[in-house]
Amino acid sequence: MSGSESDGLFGGLFGRGAVSTGDEAWLQAMLDTEAALARAVERAGLAVAGTGAAVTEAARAYRFDRGELGRQATLTGNPVPALVRALTGLVSPDAANSVHRGATSQDIIDTAAMLLARQGLDAILTDMSAAADAAAALAGSHARTVMSGRTLLQQAVPVTFGLVAAGWLTGIDDARQELRRVRETRLAVQFGGAAGTLASLGDAGPAVAALLADELGLRLPVLPWHTDRLRIIELAAALAGASAVLGKIARDVTLLAQSEIAEVHEGAGAASRGGSSAMPHKRNPVAAVVILGCTRRAPGLLATLAACAEQEHQRAAGAWHAEWQTLADLLRLTGSAASWAAELLAGLQVDAARMQANLDAAAGLPMAERVAAELGPAIGRLAAHDLVAAASARATAEGTGLGEALLSDPVAAASLGAAGIGRAQIDAALDPAGYLGATAEFVRRALAAHQDLEAAWNQ
């Protein structure tokens, strides 16, 4: 981001990272489009040699008064007409002939949006890659770190922290693949002229469009997409998907970092972070909280962009205009969340001892499913379920462990004895490390898939 954007009151929180979508970035992207169009017009033989270079040299954001362009935009509904006049005034008459040739304002703004999206996606993908690598490291190093699985915010059966991190990893990698697909296949030049016909260029229109796409390194669409906004929706959906993945990770961290759980903490590198204005003892999970502050806005921004896709005839009255800042905000917030997530996961501290202590504090109750499964063949599945459910209720009420509740109840003890199940078998069934199912295989698969993805992208 430029200094003015990143140094604002909230810029360091919600504008962190390398995504740039402020006024200066928009202005330069529009100027880059105009410069590329001038070069394309020259290459098509519609302007004298050197005009493209002259316009390119003049098309520098610092040469233009953003405030004045904004004031002029109130007269035309967008800043492009004023920008074209200002740019034309900076070049010779010969070069001026190639400025904005054949274009309409939407061509410039839509193409500029594609350039901003490309830069933003590159930055987001870089940070998402770092976050994925950090999640992979956590999954690998904690593949055997047993912890409580939690469903509906209650302890369920045991899992490993490696499996939790593997879930984060696969989510990040899936989001990365969709972001990359959009970046490589759906960012296209917009060039259709007044109503999508390029009539002012005659037979040369398609050739200029192809040259413009080549100059900018963007896709050449089959035809102009002035009121076909599927590209914008796909871009927005990919960004919102990435935000959803990052938000899930951040939410897990905030829950696991609660004082009463305290199984993870944000990294030591953020030791000066997390304080409270009122409570000196606080160590808040700031990175996770700010990620959530970014990602909570993504669904609404996506909804706005989806609603904007209903556009009239060959140019929308308002819906197109509503896209500009909405898309910029979604790019910026997703970029900020990705940047925060890369740091969060790289420095996340995992307290394996606390995880074990929380399991122990549950006094065997998370293993009720396994105990019932052990009893099922001898006394029947439903009878085993009911017996263990009753013992679990007694254990909770009396503050004892599940094993004690089973063995101290005469009816339960008789059933266990008849099944040949004694304390040794009960103790074995209550060991969380012995009831992890396919956890190790799932972690292995996630890590292998991540390695395959990296190898494919690095070829």
Where in the sequence numbering do the catalytic residues fall? 276, 315
**How many residues does the structure list for the chain?**
459
Are 291 and 370 contacting, i.e. CB atoms less than 8 angstroms apart?
no
Q: Is the dihedral of CA 50, 52, 58, 60 positive or negative?
A: negative
CA–CA gap between residue 407 and residue 422 (Å, rounded)? 8
- Residue 261 backbone dihedrals phi, psi, to 5 degrees: -105, -55
CA–CA gap between residue 247 and residue 293 (Å, rounded)? 9
